[in-house]
A = this chain, B = another copy of it.
């Protein structure tokens, strides 16, 4: 990692392979990709960092939304019919195009993870893996989800169209 005043470099540490060749037609979230299997191939020199991960049922994949270019500050989400502030959506075109997805970990062999519920495009560059820990990742108390609560879209059926290409 190198840093400057306001920018810094990340590097791909692996590749996520999925059955979704293009953004168009891909599920919009893991909830629309239940049971869809993919492989995460980690750079072999990072292999030792995967020790003990096999005890976790779920992992958080952090990845580069590598097909996204530029962004608009107000966008119409897949699940809504009116424009919303970009940071109130999960739209892929963002100032820093980083995606996060919680996926089910099936198995690990050497530097290859088999995972389920993959919603990302085949060939997505991996940036980080974190163990999913409900104690840390689920907030206490009641949650509210603004426009999404009132939307009619069904994330389990919705597929991406070309709006964010």
Q: Are B30 and A129 in contact (CB under 8 A)?
A: no
Report the separation of the CA atoms of residues A164 and B31 in the bound assembly, to the nearest whole angstrom. 35
| A162 on interface, CB distance cutoff 8 Å | no
Specify which of B7, B53, B73, B74 is in contact with A10 (CB 8 Å cutoff).
B7
Contacts of A55 in B (CB 8 A): 88, 144-147, 149
Report the separation of the CA atoms of residues A137 and B13 in the bound assembly, to the nearest whole angstrom. 23
Interface band, chain A = 35 or more
Contacts of A149 in B (CB 8 A): 55
Contacts of A104 in B (CB 8 A): 139
Against B, the Cβ 8 Å flags (1 = close, 0 = not) of A5-26 are 0111111110000000000000
Q: How far is the CB of A67 from chain B (nearest CB, A)?
A: 11
Q: Are B8 and A100 in contact (CB under 8 A)?
A: no
Q: Are B128 and A98 in contact (CB under 8 A)?
A: yes
> Residue of B at shortest CB range from A48?
B73
Report the separation of the CA atoms of residues A129 and B88 in the bound assembly, to the nearest whole angstrom. 8
Q: Are A50 and B87 in contact (CB under 8 A)?
A: yes
- A residues engaging B (CB < 8 A)? 1, 3, 6-13, 29-31, 34, 46, 48-60, 62, 64, 66, 73-74, 84-90, 94-98, 100, 102-104, 117, 127-149, 155
Give 6 pairs: A residue, B residue, CB < 8 Å, sorted on A: A8-B10, A48-B86, A51-B84, A55-B146, A134-B143, A138-B138
